[in-house]
Structure 1
Amino acid sequence: MLKKYRTSDLLNYFGVPRDTLRFYEEKGLLNPKKNSENNYRNYDIFDIYNLMIIDFYKKRGMTIHQIQDLLNKSDVQDIQSLLGNKRSELEKIIYDAQCMLKRIEETQKFSRNLDSNLNTFTIKSLPQYRINGEVSDFIAVEEYENVKDIMNSNNDDMLSQIMRYISFDKNGVIAAKMLIVDTAEVKNENDNYLHYPKCLYTVVEEIQPQDEQEDLIKKMYRVSSEYANTHGLRLLGEAFAMIRLITYKVNKTKAYIEIFIPFE
């Protein structure tokens, strides 16, 4: 005669809570016998084996519904198909998590270096970016419809794909627009790229609403021109800016913006 085990035994031996066992029973995954005198559940070794089978497939990402189907009827081909689908789903989850981890690390690095880079010029290269599209201005909301498919195709947030491009000459700012970009290690001959080995680099703050702040573009033109003249640098008449961090305080947002200004 097979030995019987109570619900408390399964908790003690396997760590399976009472609610989990009841849930499995409701879904037809377990079918323990009930004592007619006290209505207690009695589990035998076959129930325990079934419990291990459920755990086996749960640990491979199967849903309760899929496990129900497997326990009802399945063969090797069925299981191969399910495992293949689960592997694809898991690979996507892992890829998304790796991308998120990379973004977290980049933002952490930017935050750690913020004090030393804020309002201070150093020399740095502009990383290679691929240009995927453009809009006339950050606030030209209607134009984003033309680039939404591009932005949604990348595993990145919207802000990190928007780069402000500014052109200027000795008389001041000529024009500005927003480029839709992503970083690219390898060039494709059919795409357009940005990469400058020598740039003035700094980080500035932009507070919204702006109140009495000097316009950021005009300010950067002024201070970068002064720095270039003092250090004998010839600016190339272009600048690139991207938001890297945002904080909030008293109904105001403060954006920390990374700026690259190429020179010869």
Structure 2
Amino acid sequence: MYTVGQVAKFLNVSRDTLKFYEEKELVKPKQNSENGYRKYNHFDIYDITTVNFYREIDIEIKKIQELRKGKSLEGIQSLLEEKEQEVLEKIEYKKLLLKKLQVVKEDCEKIKQFLGVYAVKEMKPLEIKGEIEHYTAYDEYDTLKESTDSLKKAVILTSLRRVIRFNEEGILEDKFIIVRRVEDCDKAIEGEILSHPKCIYTVVEDGRWSTGGKNTDHKVEASLRKVAKEKGYELLGLVYINLLLTTYEDGLERIFLEIYVPIK
């Protein structure tokens, strides 16, 4: 027989946890009627380790209480298969987040290297998952979230690209698209593939810290036209804008955007 302290130390659980299990009748140690001390036998140890396992895989107390009353081996197997699927989905989402973290780390290097600098780069392939008709149509975000199961929570809004179509007279179209990077070995492509082998590429700073809240679209457009003219590039009438990073200084946001302008 074991004391509360011995069981707590042996199984690395707190006394409060053991008391909670007892209150929920998940373990029923014998109690000395004279001094009130509780004693655990090896069957109680099995109960506690089993409850710990179920709690570790995030099965709620009520469900564990039901299991205590009786559950067939097939029923337990079915329950474990459900939890297995939940865990696999969480792992996939964590992989997405890890990948996004790694991408943002790379984006920090892009800002250092290309802020205010114009270069010629390829815009690598992107799969289009959906679009928002106008870049201010925020009410369309929820609809797009529902239709893109592979992009969840925080991941989705960081996968937006602003697309501007223009000609010599001005802007013809301004919208957002939701995209997914296409990997070299990607076989799960369903949507339209977007890519441009040759673009003017730069990183610009936006946000109230640098602009005072003013719209800088025309200023950026003028700079791009100037670079294209100086280098002898022919613009194709498209601009793709991607949010790289948002940070803050003096309580105001600093927004860094990367810009791809397809050229001939």
Structure 1 gap ranges (5+): none
| Whole-angstrom distance in 2 between the partners of 1:42 and 1:34 | 6
Distance verdict in 2 for CA 1:153–1:174, change over 3 Å: same
Deviation string 1:142-176 (CA, Å, 9 cap, x unpaired) is 5556645346763354532432222333x353324
| Whole-angstrom distance in 1 between the partners of 2:54 and 2:262 | 56
RMSD: 2.6
Q: Is the 8 A contact 2:163 2:177 kept in 1?
A: no
**Structure 2 matches for 1:1-264, cutoff 5 A?**
4-131=1-128, 132-136=130-134, 138-142=135-139, 144=141, 147=144, 149-150=146-147, 154-155=151-152, 157-169=155-167, 171=168, 173-185=170-182, 191-208=191-208, 210-211=211-212, 213=214, 215-264=215-264
AA matched with 1:259: I
AA matched with 1:30: V
| Whole-angstrom distance in 2 between the partners of 1:139 and 1:197 | 29
Q: Is the 8 A contact 1:129 1:183 kept in 2?
A: yes
| Whole-angstrom distance in 2 between the partners of 1:54 and 1:84 | 18
| Whole-angstrom distance in 2 between the partners of 1:190 and 1:14 | 50
Aligned pair count reads 258
> 1:61: Cα distance to partner?
4.1
| Further displaced range: 160-169 or 30-39 | 160-169
Structure 2 length normalisation: TM-score?
0.86
Distance verdict in 2 for CA 1:255–1:176, change over 3 Å: farther
| Whole-angstrom distance in 2 between the partners of 1:55 and 1:188 | 39
| Whole-angstrom distance in 1 between the partners of 2:42 and 2:158 | 56
| Further displaced range: 45-54 or 91-100 | 45-54
Structure 1 length normalisation: TM-score?
0.86
